[in-house]
Structure 1
Amino acid sequence: SVFIFVFFFFCFFLFFFPCPSHAENRFPFSFCPSLNDLYRIEMSAAASFALEVGVGVFEVLWCPRLLSFSAGMLGLSLLALYKYQDHLLYFPEFPAGSRSHFQDPILFKRTNSFEEVFVKAEDGVSLQCWLFKQKNVGEVPTLLYFHENAGNLSHRLDNIQDFYKNLEVNVFIVSYRGYGKSDSTPSEHGLRLDGKAALKYLLYTRKDIDPNRVIVFGRSLGGAVAIELCASIAEYGPKYITTPLSDLPPPSSTPRPPPRKRREEEEKRKEEEEKEEREEEKEEE
């Protein structure tokens, strides 16, 4: 889009502000006298316009002032892309209100299995974290959950409930810097520090969690955080990555939908299979 803008700017500048070196002699073509005869040849309006634009662009490209201006514009565009690249990759404020409005994990609060803590990263950034504890908290594994892009911790409550009930594990989920109630703004280096801070908190600060039974889990953007963390602690226990970023696809601004619909579809499929089995048994009888 930057190059398209520069091209059309050239065309605009060509017809309204011709290069000073040729302004007094725009036509006939001062830089190539032989083109004067060609210009006098009778031709269609389209061909005449194409020739005029083509030669004009050539003249503009040879104008030192425009070359300097276009180089400056290109440099500023690249600088802006570099400076604001994090805004193109991370979406902490989508959906609207994600940094201020949270769903209340009331079901976990009723059983005293929910705890909100704030963990300090190496650079002093405060990270919002949620811990969901089983009754036998020290006897079961703890899942360190690095979530997807966009939204806040409460958008993952359905996923957390799945892990908590079906796997019977403690779930510790961390909100990256710039997301939810965490401080600062998101960045690649910052997310590395966030991952390390979350793991260190579980291993060295919590006395009620078994440090030898921590599972590192990441999904989508969280998969990249988990991979980076696991690479720095290659000798450390289990780690599971689901749908990580294989490269840098178009950034997703939509939180991953809850798995409730998938569960319903699976249950429906199982019911149909059981029904077919019962019908087959009746036919055999």
Structure 2
Amino acid sequence: MAQDSTRYGTIFSPGLFDGQVALVTGGGTGIGRASAHELAALGATVVVAARREEPLIQTVGEIRGVGGNASWTTLNIREAEEVEAVIGDVVEEHGRLDLLVNNAGGQFPAPSEQISPNGWRTVIDLNLNGTFLVTRAAYTTWMAEHGGVICNVIADMWRGFPYMAHTGAARAGVDNLTKSLAIEWGRSGVRINAVAPGTIYSSGMDTYDESFRTHAARRASKIPVGRVGTESETAAAITFLLSPAAAFITGATLRVDGGASLEKAAMVPLEAHTAIPPYNGFHLAREIPEAWVDDGEPDA
């Protein structure tokens, strides 16, 4: 069936979120933008928030251009007072806050020994602390009394995140936070889950240099499904977790990675080495043959 190129091609039922209000942080670009479009296409009134005005204005214009209901607000999720004020304004203007997508975040690739204390704190503050501040404000301002659904966007960090240690640590923290809050807040009618995208062909890739993007693209053949993912596939997972179809799911993290986390390769090339010698206390053991030592050449 041909897709209408003028509207979001959602697979969910029309009107799924009629009458509901959604806040999407980081909603001006990438996965956040796609999620905002999909939620609006399904009837939600969407508020997109981020630090930069220009992408937000563009996203809201796109949504309104196809008949959706959207507005924008600037927000630095690292500032607790600002977060509480913005959440309060959303509830005051729209009378409710049913859905929250914590998509805002950011990081930069670097060897761990080269990450400065300030760089480390900035990434942790944005990805972990900021997520907590927005989630807490949404709960205390509205959801504690009225219920709601929250979806956190984290990352594929299950087998470590070399050259991204700061964001790996932060996203792992959000994964655990998701579980903790699901237990604490179920009594208030709140469900909270997360999605963990793998390598997604998104505008977020534009923040990295050409060598990083090239290596990420070359990894596509290593992903079990044979390609990188799309913003739409991630947005669909978020939408599912926000929907009544996931009413019995809370405290879960859905991996949207094409199976990459089952056989993860590094986001940047790792240097081959033999710096850590083997221990072999068994006097009759065989020596490791050279053919079994990584020579640094790419796989065929």
TM-score (ref. length: structure 2):
0.29
Who wins on radius of gyration, i.e. which is larger? 1
TM-score (ref. length: structure 1):
0.30
Hey, which of these two has a bigger chunk of helix by percent?
A: 1
